[in-house]
């Protein structure tokens, strides 16, 4: 949560999850969802308010790059050159 001072590790943590992994990539936040790319080729969509995993999907290959948001779509670039493009939201499209 925003607005803290000093050590906010207890007072301003909204949620923690052992079910979500980001590997080397930074998560992408869009609206009420965060997108986490795992090193082994998975994409997870997480509700930013609760930390609940909305869905998980296999990528075309391993990915280390952070996902990008452009033109209303989420782009995930894989190491082998494959790209996954989807609409942000509760269901993978």
Q: Is the pLDDT of residue 2 over 80?
A: no
pLDDT at 3: 82
**pLDDT above 70 as % of the chain:** 99
**Residue 38: pLDDT band by 50, 70, 90 thresholds?**
confident
3-state secondary structure the chain: CCCCCCCCCCCCCCCCCCCCCCCCCCCEEECCEEEEEECCCEEEEEECCCCCEEEEEECCCCCCCCCEEECCEEEEECCCCCEEEECCCCCCC
């Amino acid at each position: 949560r925003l607005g803290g001072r000093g050590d906010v590790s207890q007072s301003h943590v909204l949620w923690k999850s052992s079910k979500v992994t980001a590997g080397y990539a930074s998560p992408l936040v869009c609206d009420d969802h965060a997108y986490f790319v795992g090193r082994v080729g998975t994409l997870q969509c997480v509700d930013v308010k609760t930390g609940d995993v909305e869905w998980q999907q296999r990528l075309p290959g391993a990915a280390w790059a952070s996902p990008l948001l452009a033109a209303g779509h989420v782009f995930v670039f894989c190491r082998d050159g494959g790209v996954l493009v989807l609409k942000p939201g509760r269901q993978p499209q």
